[in-house]
A and B are shown apart, each in its own frame.
Chain A
Amino acid sequence: MKARSAFAFLTPFLAVFTLFSLLPLALSILLSFLDWSPLNPEQAGWVGFGHYARALHEPRFWGALRNTFFFVAGTIPLTTTLALGLALLVRLPLKLRTLFRAGFFVPSVVSMVVISLIWKHLYAPFGGMNALLGWLGIPPQRWLLDPELALPAVMAMDVWASVGYYMVLYLAGLETIPAELYEAASLDGAGFWARLRHITWPALKPMTLFILVVNTMRSFQIFVEVFVMTGGGPMHATETVVLYLYDAAFHQFRMGYASAVAYLLFAILAVFSLLELKWLRSEQRTLA
C-alpha cells in the first residue's frame, strides 16, 4: 500500500491519539521525574530518578508487585484454559447451544463495579459462599477479611467475570479453521484428542497468543475489583501495583512518585509483552 494512502488512513486516528493519548503520556512521564502535587500545580521540583529509586526501596511496592504477579500467574492460565474448553464444548451440536453461549458471555457484559459489588455480597459472612461451604460441611470463612484468602477470592471472581469474553474470542478463532482439515484427519483415523493436539491447538496459536497478551496487559493493571471489594486490604494482601500508585497519587498527593511506579510497572509489562509478541510473530511466520 502506498505510503501516502497509509498516512491518509492513519490521520483521523493519529489526530485523536496524539492529543489525547500521547500528550498525556508524555506529560505523565515528565511527572515521574518531578516532585509535583496537584494542589500546587505551578511548583515542580526536579528529582530525576529519585522517585524510581524510592519505589525500589519501598517494601510496599514490592508487596504490591508480588500480589500482582500472583494474580497474573493464577488467573491467566486458568481463564485461558477454561475459555478454550468452554468454546470447544459450546461448538458441539447440542440443543441448548445458544443458551450456553449467551449465558457464559453475559457476565463479561456487566460493569466490573457491579460485579465486584455482587461478589462482595457473596463473600460476606451471610453470603452465598459461606452458605455453599456450610452445605459442604466446611466452617464459614472470612474471605475478604482473611489475609490468606482475600487475593484468591478476588482472583476467582476475575476468572468468572472474564472467561465468557475469551470464550467468544476462541469461538471466532475456531470458526476460521477449515472443516476439510478435520475431515481429512478423521479419514486418517485420528481421534478427538489427536485432532485437538495437531489441528486445533496449532491453528489457535495466534488467537491464544493474542488472548495472552491482552489478558496479561489487563491483569497487570487490575484496579477496580480490588478498589471496590477490599481497598487493598487486609494488610495490603490484595494491594496491586495500580491500587498502590492510585493511593500514592490521590490520597498521598504524590503524583510524581505515582507516575514513577506506573512506569516501573510499564517496564515490566513491556518486557512480558515483547516476549509474547516475538513468539507471536515467529508463530505467524511458521504458519504462513
Chain B
Amino acid sequence: MRGTPFGPILALLALAGLVAGAGCGRKGGNDQASGQQEVTFWHFWRQEWITPLITEFERRNPDIHVVDEQLTWQAGQEKIQAAIAAGQAPDLCELGSTWLPRFAASGALMDVTPIADSLRGEIGHWEPAMQGGRVYGLPWVVGTRALFWNRALFRAAGLDTTRAPATWEELLQAATRLSARPGVKGFGLNAGERYVLFKKFMPFAWGNGGEILTPDGQRAAFDSPANAAALAFYVQLAKQSLIEKQDVIDRAFMDSQVGMMISGAWNLRVFAEQAPGLEFDVALIPRPAPKRGRHASFAGGEYLVVFARSQAVDAATRLARYLIGRDAAVALCRAARSVQPAAMGAEDDPYYRSQPKDRLFVEQLATAVAPPPHPRWGEMEEALDHEIEGALYGRKTPAAAVRDAGSAIDALLAEDRR
C-alpha cells in the first residue's frame, strides 16, 4: 500500500466535500412567507442606521419583504455595474447625484416621472434626476458643504469671534492672520483628490456667477472672467493653506491645526464623537463681496432608482416612497448627520430647529448648485480637477487653466454630438 497517494486523495475528497457543500451559502433570501413580495434594495448606509427604517416599513407593509445590502463607497459603483451586466441588478438602488445622469441616459433605469409629478410638492432637488425631460430617480437626501471655523483659534489670533468671514476678502485676511501662528494654517484647501476637489472650488466660482455649461447644456461656459477670478482667489488662498486630501484636513481641523475649511456635515457627528471639546462653528461659504454674488455651495444627493428590469416594481416604489418621506428621511439624517432630507420643510422639523449647526446646512442648500446632470459629467469633472490643480501647483495661470478646462469640456461635448 506504500506509495498509494493517500495524502492527496484525502485532500481531494476534502476539497470535493467543501465544494459540494459550497452550494450552501445565502442565495439572496428565498425564504419568503407565502404571498410575500420580495424586493432587493442596495444602499450605502450603515446597517444600524437603515435597519430601523426597513423594519418599520415591513411592519406597515406586511406583504413585502425587504432584502437589503450595504455597498462600499470604494467599489459600490463597480458592483452595481457588474450586477446590471449580469442581469442581477437589485430592484431598488441608491445612486449618487453625480452618477445618476449616466445611468439615466443608458436606459437601465425605470422612468418614474408619474411618481415624481405626484411628489413635486413634498420633495425638492429633482434636477440631477432628470434626463431629456423625464425623471429617473427619486430624491432621498441631499448634502452640501459649508465653512467650518475654529472659534478658539480666531480668538487667539485676535479675530472677531461673533461671526465668520462672509466675503472673500475677509476669508483671506482671516486665513493670513491665523497662519501667522506657528503650527497653524489658516485654511484647509483640498487637492489631489478626485470627486472632491471641484466641490471645494466650484462654490467660489458659482458664488461669483460662474457656470460650467451653457443653460442648454450644449457648450462649455467655463472659460469666463468670473471663473478665472475665482480660481485666482483660490490660488491666493492656497498660500495660507494646508493643501491636502479632505480626510487629512478634517483631521487637522479637529486637532486645531487648521483654522477654517470647507467641508460637509459628517464632521458634525465625527467632531461630537472624537473631539467634543472643539470650539467650532459653521457658516455659509463666503461670497465675493458684501453686495455681490451669492453664498454658493455644492449640492449633491442620494437618489433612489428602480431598475427597468425589476420584477418587483410596485414593492420597490412603495419602499422608495416611504424612505424619501420626511419622517424616514429625517430619522436617517439625524443618525448620519452627513446629509439632509430632500423632503421639503425639513428645517421646520423639531430636530433641525434644535440643532443650529445642522440647520445651517439646510440653509446653505438653498443657495447650493448641483453640477450639470450630463452623462459625461465624470469626464468633465476630471478635466476641471486637472486644470485647477495645474493652477494650484503653479503650472499655469488661472486664466490659462480656466481656458483649457473650457476647451476640454467643449471637446467632450463635441464628441457626443458626432
Contact = CB atoms under 8 A, between A and B. Distances in A.
User: Would you call the interface of chain A mostly helix, strand, loop, or mixed?
Assistant: loop
A10 to B, nearest CB: 15
Contacts of B378: 251-252
Given A38-B85, A40-B107, A251 B77 contact: yes
Interface in B307-333: none
Nearest to A36: B85
Contacts of A40: 106-108
Looking at A37, A39, A236, the one whose CB has the most chain B CB atoms below 10 A away is A39
B244 A125 contact: yes
B357 interface: no
B389 A235 contact: yes
A39 B103 contact: yes
B390 interface: yes
B85 A145 contact: no
A234 interface: yes
Contact of B252 (A126, A150, A233, A251): A126
B81 interface: yes
B15 to A, nearest CB: 9
B386 A236 contact: yes
A41 B77 CA distance: 16
Given A233-B193, A234-B389, A235-B393, A145 B78 contact: no
Interface string B62-79: 000000000000000110
Interface residues of A, number: 24
Contacts of B77: 250-251
Contacts of B244: 124-125, 142, 145
Interface in A210-257: 230-236, 250-253
B112 interface: no
B87 interface: yes
B245 A145 contact: yes
Nearest to A235: B389
Contacts of B390: 235
Contacts of A155: none
B192 A233 contact: yes
Contact of A41 (B84, B193, B251, B395): B84
Nearest to B258: A125
B389 A233 contact: yes
B413 to A, nearest CB: 15
Interface string A120-159: 0000111000000000000000101101001000000000
A39 B245 contact: no
Contacts of B386: 235-236
B84 A38 contact: yes
Contact of A144 (B82, B84, B192): B192
Interface in A140-188: 142, 144-145, 147, 150
Interface in B229-275: 242-245, 248, 251-252, 255, 257
A236 to B, nearest CB: 7
B177 interface: no
B384 interface: no
B248 A233 contact: no
B337 interface: no
A39 B192 CA distance: 29
Interface in B23-77: 77
16 contacts: A39-B102, A40-B107, A40-B108, A41-B84, A125-B244, A142-B243, A144-B192, A147-B393, A231-B193, A233-B192, A234-B191, A234-B393, A235-B389, A235-B393, A250-B77, A250-B78
Given A126-B251, A233-B194, A250-B78, 14 more contacts: A39-B85, A39-B102, A39-B106, A41-B87, A125-B244, A142-B243, A145-B192, A145-B243, A233-B389, A234-B191, A235-B390, A235-B393, A253-B81, A253-B102
Interface of B: 77-78, 81-82, 84-85, 87, 102-103, 106-108, 191-194, 242-245, 248, 251-252, 255, 257, 378-379, 386, 389-390, 393, 395
